[in-house]
Amino acid sequence: MASYLWKKVLLAVPTILGITLIAFILLQLAPSDPALVSLTLDGTNAPTIDEIQIKRHELGLDKPYIEQYTDWLKGLLHGNWGNSYITNEPVLDMLITASFVTVLLTVFAVLISMSIALPLAIILVMSSHKTIRTSVELISIFIATVPSFWLAMVGIHIFAENWSLFPTNGYDSLYSLVLPAIVLAIPVTGNLIRVQRISLEEVRSMNYILFAKAKGLPIWHIIYKYMIRNSIISVLSLLGNYSRSLLGGAVVVELIFSLPGLGSAVLQAIQLRDYPMIQGYIVIMGIITILVNIVIDLLYVWLQPEISIGGTHES
């Protein structure tokens, strides 16, 4: 297990480096000049060419590209992620603050999603009532295809504007995250229902389920002890993928709900060509992705000990 974890971490290093290199190249190709953007933040200042050159020098943008990239990497290795071009504050501090809201929002969304998807998938599999099955199936397809921004606007209009159940925006407390998390969770829930249903149906057709029924075990016991446990692996894989896309997809939801998370921060950084912030975001997302992968792999083993990871059988 330990060697597996090491391998994962070692493999992550070139992966993150590769991503940051590609991101760096793409940023250089984008039509923009961070020095000009930084000096014209107010929309009225017209800096002279000399002032722009001085700013470029100050930000290190007049150095060769290779040097800019290696300087940034060296800083990263020494725990210095650089300062924001716009606010001049340490990027790492800004990212850590923003990560808290985004991770909380994502965890909340995953919990909501799982809590809704699992019971509905069980109803779908166990129900012999065709209308219920078709309705749940159709609803799951519909909600899986609804875009988050639309859900956010409709959610705000109904639950915040008209019914005043939730705040329209901001992050004052956990309560502020409820509506954004529901919005973020809904499309994922639709997909989870479908995958969980397929998985549960496969397990239901197994002989050990038939045996358990023949033994006269109560149905809820069979579902809880055998069906969920054995079907959850495929859902976990999907959830692993979704956790990553939820983190990324939180951008729109954070923007609409004015949440000070990673999504809002990176969106602003992209608009203002704040390269250190964008690069830092990519590293943070890389780290989170790797951590999620490791956690999912460990969950596989924990749930089904017969699964081996890292090339050796675990017992």
Partner 1 sequence: MYILKTYRWFWLILFVWIIAIALVFHQKGSVESNEIVLAAPRDIAPGPKDPYFVSSIAMVWEPLIGVDAQGSMVGVLATHWESNEDNTEWTFYLKDNVTFHDGTIFNSDAVIRNVQRWQAMRTKPSPFYSFNIKAMYPGLINATAGGDNVVIFHLKSPDPVFPERLINFSSAMFSPNSFDLKTGDFINADIGTGPFKLKEYKKNQYVLLSRNEMYHGNLAQADTIRIRAIPNADTRYAALKAEEIVGVVDIGAIPPALTRDLLKDERFALSTNNNTLNQVLTVNQSKWPFSDPRMIRAISLIIHRDDVINTYFSGQAVPYGSILNSLNPYAIPMATIYDETQAKSLAHEVMGNQRVKASLLIPQYGINRYSYKEVGQYYQAIFKELGIDVSITILEGAAHKKLVSLGQYDFSLGTMGMSSYAPEGIFRTYLAENGSMNRLYHVGYYDERAELLLNNLKTDITKEAHIIKYNELQKISSEHMPVVVFGSDRTTLVYNQQKIEGFQALTYGVSLDTIHWR
Question: Which residues bind to partner 1, rule: CB under 8 A?
Answer: 30-34, 36-49, 51-52, 54, 86-89, 97, 108, 111, 115, 153, 156-157, 160-161, 164, 167-175, 178, 221, 224-225, 255-258, 260, 264-265, 268, 271-273
CA 94 – CA 89 distance, rounded (Å): 7
Provide the minimum distance between the beta carbon of 102 and partner 1 in the complex, in angstroms, as a whole number: 13
Closer to partner 1 by CB, 167 or 286: give it. 167
The CA–CA distances, whole Å, from 219 to 114, 126, 198, 225 equal: 21, 9, 18, 10
68 vs 258 by CB, closer to partner 1: 258
Q: Could you tell me the smallest distance in angstroms from the CB atom of residue 260 to partner 1?
A: 5
The end-to-end CA distance of the chain, in Å, is 11
2 versus 30: smaller Cβ distance to partner 1: 30
Q: Smallest distance from the beta carbon of 278 to partner 1, in angstroms? A: 12
- As to burial, measured by CB atoms within 10 angstroms (0-12 exposed, 13-18 middle, 19+ buried), residue 221 is exposed
The number of CA neighbours under 13 Å toward the Cβ of 180 is: 34
Q: Which is nearer to partner 1, 6 or 208 (CB)?
A: 208
Task: Considering the complex, state which of residue 15 and residue 87 has its C-beta at the smaller distance from partner 1.
Answer: 87
Q: Can you give the length of the chain in residues? A: 315
Minimum distance of partner 1 from residue 70's CB (angstroms): 25
Tally Cβ neighbours within 10 Å of residue 299: 15
* Residue 26 main-chain phi, psi, to 5 deg: -65, -40
Q: Smallest gap, in angstroms, from Cβ of residue 294 to partner 1?
A: 22
Q: Is 192 exposed, middle or buried (0-12, 13-18, 19+ CB in 10 A)?
A: buried
